[in-house]
Structure 1
Amino acid sequence: MCQLIESVCLENGIIKNIQYHNMRMNKSRTELFGCSNFLKIEDIMTIPRYAQTGIWKIRIHYSESITKIEFEQYKRKTIHSLQIVFSDSIEYAYKYADRTSIAQLFEKRNNADDILIIKGGFITDSSSANVAFSNGIEWITPATPLLPGTKRAKLLDEGIIKEDYIALKDIRKFSHICLINAFLDVGNILLPTSKIFF
């Protein structure tokens, strides 16, 4: 049976964006396993004392039910460049624990720190984050992510980013790209688009 994961940000004892994680987890459980009951992460999980301060990554493993919860101190990656990689066959609509297909693409990054995946001619995601592009006026996130992230959903709901189709040929129309995920807000990891290597 396939295992899925939610990677949740715990900051000084507070679970961030918990409603978005609950929604995605339960949507996946319904669509993949036919589950009708709604699980709430906060009702199942106990935060250990050692994780009450600082920033922690909570890995919640689940299928029909939650099978394991892990706590790991979070350390932000340093990313200064992205390598364009191509795959028209990659599928990652659910947050599977098995990331083999993404890991294989990551190996093609050459000297860059991370990858930017192109599928069908359109921008999708990096290896572990959604992305957004700045044109100097607003932030645009691709309408074609491999996995619509919880932070991406929150930022769209708040109107901080907008969604549109971004083709490979459109990249140079933007000045900057940023990575967004459960641990990264707009601007936390910010690169000029000149640091995207073709």
Structure 2
Amino acid sequence: MLEVAVIEDPSAAEVSLDPVRARLLAELAEPGSATMLAARVGLPRQKVNYHLKTLEKHGLVELVEERRKGNVTERVLRATAASYVISPIALASVQPDPARSPDRLSARWLLALASRLVSDVGSLITGATRARRRVATFALDGEVRFASAADRAAFAEELTNAVTALVSKYHDETAEGGRDHRVVVAVHPSVKAVTEPMTQTKES
């Protein structure tokens, strides 16, 4: 099972977004049969089996083993990945294009860059998986607390200068056999997880 799988096919994306099928994918992080899943999700076995066949058809679940029980063969399935990302390629005609309106201070342009990142890396993963090779990538993730908007602006300026200097140092336009790499650096406010308030019960 993969840790993350990228869904590029529009029909597979549509299948995965169905609430029942999404629940079955989550349940199939561990192998299970239609009978086992029917008891967990509260649906008839025939209906669960129909959804499983659809998921299998689109490569979202895979057969692990077949068990013979009397005159019945029980098929045990498992999700092909622990989690899934739908690539913007699945909506190719309307996927964001960062080149359309580049603005490094625009949140929507940042979103377009992130969309292209998912699309590009997803395609690289798909190709590397078929070739049974690894993709050479590198990423940093962290948080910084700014005391003021002025500090944030100064940080952005210093970061821009530092990255520009590094790119100028290592970029070699004439390198034979060299391979282009895309560099994406982003700064955005952190999103804090919202915790639901606890409900209080009156004591009798």
TM-score (norm 2): 0.25
Greater Cα radius of gyration, structure 1 or 2:
2
TM-score (norm 1): 0.25
Which structure has the highest helix share of the two? 2
